[in-house]
Amino acid sequence: MAIIDPQKVPAFPVYTLQISEDRDAITLDGAQVPVLDEEDFIEAGKNAIIAKLINHHLGVVRVRAIDASTGQTWDMIVAATGDVLDLTAQQEAELAATARRQRRIKRLMIAGVSALMVLTFGGIGAAVVVANQPAATVSAYTPQGVGATLPAAPPPQHEVTAAWSHPIRAGATVNLISPERLLTTDPEGTVTGRTPATGQPVWRGDKAPEDISSMHQGTWAGKPVYAAAARNELRLWPVAMPYETPSVAPTSIALEPGQTARTDTHTPYIELGDWYIRVPDAAGTLHEVMIPPGSTVLDVAADGTITTISATTIYTLDNTGTILTEQKFTAPEGATKYPMRVWLLDDSHALLAWDDTERIMGVLDTTTGSLLFSGTPRTIPTATEPLLVDRQAKTAALGSVGIRYGANSALVDLPSADLSAIHGNLIYANTNNGPATMNLAAPEAEPQSWANYRTEDPAPVLVTDDAVYVVATQLENTTVYRSNKTNPSTRQ
């Protein structure tokens, strides 16, 4: 029997094994577990866990067993080899130690040693208070799903076996929200932040949005948050994960009919219509601000200042709506009104779109207030189409429009395709002929396929200097695979 070291087992995923209240059925993560005549519930559940581990290329997992007939729960660790470690006794011993530690932390908080982060919304007592906690001890981590064979052919110069792999929710993608954190959506609907190189989970949040690519990192009341607009609400998660907390719950701000939230700005805000927006003050309390009529918001900065743009002027407002500066702006020929849509490309560039007398798009240098270039695309992308950006290369893609906003700036019309990722000048997409790349630097950005197993093979959902990330579904199980580049020293 192999020895299982709990310190080396990731905190999640956690499988849930439940015996029904009438004790005539058992489920694993909500799916019915077949029980053979010669098996009991425990043995059947264990076998189902082992089968799921093998299917997901995992070596070991934490499991919470629930007996609905008695309300009893117990935790264990199950290995793909069949070994089981019961954690119940260990947890009972640790409970007393945890209580003593919490009492000590509470005394420190009362003494004023701990710093508090307060997010207050609307001034009506809906507040989140998070205390700074001692840093958790990071134990050695063994990547999961190593060596799993990718069920879809990766682009050239990438491994056909995974550096790591993890199960994710069906239909989900991934989000490299910062250089050191990759977000994935778990099958149970939580969102996990992982170290890109190893897949090690380092953060977990409840209530993952359906589109994880809509999550952005911003600032609220001076503190870093992840933000997403989902299901008629604005959700905010603290970036820091408190010590000994399995996951963090978002603070949700309800959106009334007609209201929308924008989260790609440095501070999230709510659009109310009729030239009004709702923004947080320095304490995190939401309040209404009227912006100059005939303008639209470019950005809300981390310090609360607001920048808007009209057909002729760029305004800077303080957090109460008082105009601080006005800068003349020259719109492209044919644009007579303020931009109908704004997308932030990076900290100093914004993509603008007009659709009044002509369809026009252009890139604004937000530090100087000048338009770098403009053009007339075949179509204007909708507000719901995902924006793909490579900030290092200064390239982007949106709908049927490719953008180069560094050297040799230009708008490029793209063939119809389902865009999935961008890296340098290469756009990755799913086409009717299989996964393909489109080169923004080429005279014509025509799809170029690579050798694949099937035309249904998915294109990568993320491409970095050293790897691609492929999401594929097999037998109703969806998995994200990291495939390392064979020569990571070169940039495509």
SS3 (DSSP) at 378: coil
Integer Cα distance of 417 and 358 in angstroms: 24
Beta bridge partners of 350: 344, 364
Dihedral sign for Cα 150, 153, 158, 160, please: positive
pLDDT at 107: 39
> Stretch 410-423: mean pLDDT, rounded?
96
Looking up tokens 């945890």 gives 98
CB 415 within 8 A of CB 447: yes
Report pLDDT for 204.
95
Instruction: Report the percent of the chain where pLDDT is more than 90.
Output: 66
Is the model's pLDDT at 245 over the cut of 80? no
Mean pLDDT lowest among 24-33, 321-330, 471-480: 24-33
Six-digit token string for 204: 């977990």
How far is the C-alpha of 178 from the C-alpha of 314, rounded, in Å? 29
Contact 310/294 with Cβ under 8 angstroms?
yes
pLDDT in tens, 426-485: 999 999 999 999 999 998 899 999 999 999 999 999 999 999 999 999 988 999 999 999
- Which residue would you say has higher pLDDT here, 103 or 49? 49
- Identify which has the larger pLDDT, 168 or 41: 168
Q: What is the pLDDT of residues 356-408, one digit of tens each?
A: 778 999 999 999 999 999 999 999 999 889 999 999 999 999 999 999 999 89
Amino acid letter, 65: A
Closest by Cα among 139, 158, 130 to 236: 130
Q: Which two tokens stand for residue 247?
A: 């996951």
* pLDDT above 80 (res 139): no
- Token duo for residue 381: 């992308």
Sheet holding 467-474, edge to edge: 164-167, 477-484, 467-474, 462-463
Beta strands in 191-238 (DSSP E): 191-194, 201-205, 216-220, 223-230, 233-238
Q: Which of 242, 213, 210 is nearest to 226 (CA)?
A: 213
Cis previous bond, 13, omega within 30: yes
Q: Is the pLDDT of residue 125 over 50?
A: no
Residue 230: beta bridge partners?
233
The one-letter amino acid code at 130 reads V
Taking CA 86 as the corner, what is the angle to CA 82 and CA 92, rounded to the nearest 5 degrees?
Answer: 170
Q: Per-residue pLDDT averaged across 67-88, rounded?
A: 84
Structure tokens at 210: 């359906």
pLDDT value at 167 more than 90: yes
pLDDT score of 243: 67
Structure tokens at 365: 């240098």
**What CA–CA distance (Å, rounded) separates 476 from 349?**
41
Does residue 98 have a pLDDT over 80? no
Average pLDDT, stretch 336-363? 94
Confidence (pLDDT) at 425:
97
Angle formed at CA 397 by CA 396 and CA 403, multiple of 5 degrees: 55
Give the residue-averaged pLDDT of 82-88.
84
Mean pLDDT over 418-424 rounds to 97
d(CA 329, CA 418): 35
Give me the pLDDT at residue 38, please.
Answer: 73
pLDDT value of residue 36: 82
* pLDDT computed for residue 87 by the predictor: 81
- Please say whether the beta carbons of 410 and 445 come within 8 A: no
Which element (helix H / strand E) includes 18?
Answer: strand 14-19
Mean pLDDT of all residues belonging to the chain: 87
Tell me, what's the pLDDT at 67? 83
User: Residue 252 has what pLDDT?
Assistant: 94
Taking only the tens place, the pLDDT of each residue in 247-269 is 899 999 999 999 999 999 999 99
Contact yes or no for 345/363 (Cβ under 8 A): yes
Q: What is the pLDDT of residue 71?
A: 76
What pTM does this model have? 0.75
Q: Do strands 31-32 and 216-220 pair parallel, antiparallel, or not at all (unpaired)?
A: unpaired
As a whole-number percent, the residues of the chain with pLDDT over 70 amount to 87
In the chain, DSSP finds a helix count (H) and a strand count (E) of 2, 40
